[in-house]
Structure 1
């Protein structure tokens, strides 16, 4: 039993978010249309979308920032197998206050918190958008993937979500777009994840761990892992399912 490896990290996910293959293809086509020479991926994880943009835009180079060493290693290996290793860096560092820009294309999908440090949740979205406005080159694009409330959450739903969840943690969709306008962007494209994308992400997020738990119920790590996964699943099913949405905003810096 001690020689049994721990549960794998997210092996069933292609993207670290509710993003389908079909939507990813459309995003890469739209973002690549402007032939960005430089791509900056904030909170990149393994940088799947960045690698796809680099594959679609010959000569473009990319920089991914994240603090998870395992995800970064996965990104480097994926870059190597796709022949992109010489055109991308995966860097283990915080994005808060980063001076890595400006870039022609900035990706920040589900990682606005990586830019905001200790900013309170109620002001985090605006702070992240201001940081992104500073990091994008004139005439470039930002892809901002951010949560929003599809409807106001009830007190019971908030209590079932993440610790300290509050109604002002997110805008509604109109408020999110308004925050982008206030930060100096114009929204070129507004789209939102659908229910199938959310279910694929939520199930995929836990699938590798669930099958590991089924096979290794007596492992020393099993009890803590089971508690964590059960808590995550319950948070989704009784808290934010159908309440929290994900918007993908393609933003153009104004002026």
Structure 2
């Protein structure tokens, strides 16, 4: 990024989450084997996994929904660069009550909150019901969702996001139970590794950290420093090794 007047944003991340290229390639391969013709990406951001799936399945078309135009513009630019622009649409709209389904593959990567206005922890169960209604029979849902690796302490919760509560996430078994209760079978269960978390968290901050080091007197420096320091503390003192991300490949029961 050449504009030094504002801090850069997420320029060093391929995915907006702890997802490695290696894991993404395996997920794309599994989803591509099902021969999807339609892909729906809920809370898509810049839709990197959707674009990789479309590249692997030339017959497929995709739609990504998000409310952040900056991320959607990045997705459109990436699609043009990869020759996928004619097969994908990035739409600036809410996914609550969306009529964009049904699709052969539905992606929902750390975006279950985008499907309803329910508060945690109820939002996960509500989102799973919505996802079941959005996927075609015989299709696949890929849900990335947070869970507790172990119960957080009060001190750890105090360092996380405002109002963090031990009740707002399930453990991995509880999360998969919710998927089954919503009418899915769990075709594949995997979780982000510590290395993937470190790659994501470092990439999330790195370009802004370097911008701040080079512009300590910038009018935005104080605000940026507070944000960076707060996020780093939240990760290292709060959810590091405590919160996990599960990648569940789900098959709807007929």
Instruction: Provide TM-score, normalisation by structure 2.
Output: 0.98
Post-superposition Cα deviations, 1:105-139, rounded to whole Å, max 9, x if no partner, equal 0000111111122x121201101111101110111
- Check if 1:197 corresponds to 2:179: no
What's the counterpart of residue 92 of structure 1?
92
| Structure 2 partner of 1:166 | 165
Partner deviation per Cα, 1:140-178 (whole Å, 9 max, x = no partner): 000000000000000111111000000111100000000
Q: How does 1:1-255 map to 2 (within 5 A)?
A: 4-117=4-117, 119-255=118-254
Structure 2 unaligned residues grouped into runs of 5+: none
Q: Residue 4 of structure 2: SS of its match in structure 1?
A: coil
Q: Distance in 2 between matches of 1:201 and 1:68?
A: 20
- How far apart in 1 are the matches of 2:126 and 2:5? 40
Question: Alpha-carbon deviation of 1:56?
Answer: 0.2
Shift in Å at residue 218 of structure 1? 1.0
- Other structure's SS at 2:176 match: helix
Structure 1 spans left out of the alignment, 5+ residues: none
State the 1:246 CA deviation.
Answer: 0.4
Three-state SS of the structure 2 residue aligned to 1:121 is coil
Q: How much does 1:27 deviate? A: 0.3
- Give the deviation of 1:225 after TM superposition: 1.1
Taking the aligned partners of 2:242 and 2:136, their CA distance within structure 1 comes to 34
2:121 aligned counterpart, secondary structure: helix
Q: Kindly tell me the number of residue pairs found equivalent between the two proteins.
A: 252
Q: Separation in 2 of the partners of 1:75 and 1:120? A: 29
Q: Secondary structure at the match of 1:246?
A: strand
CA-CA distance at 1:4 after TM superposition: 3.4
Give me the whole-angstrom Cα distance separating, in 1, the residues matched to 2:142 and 2:63: 15
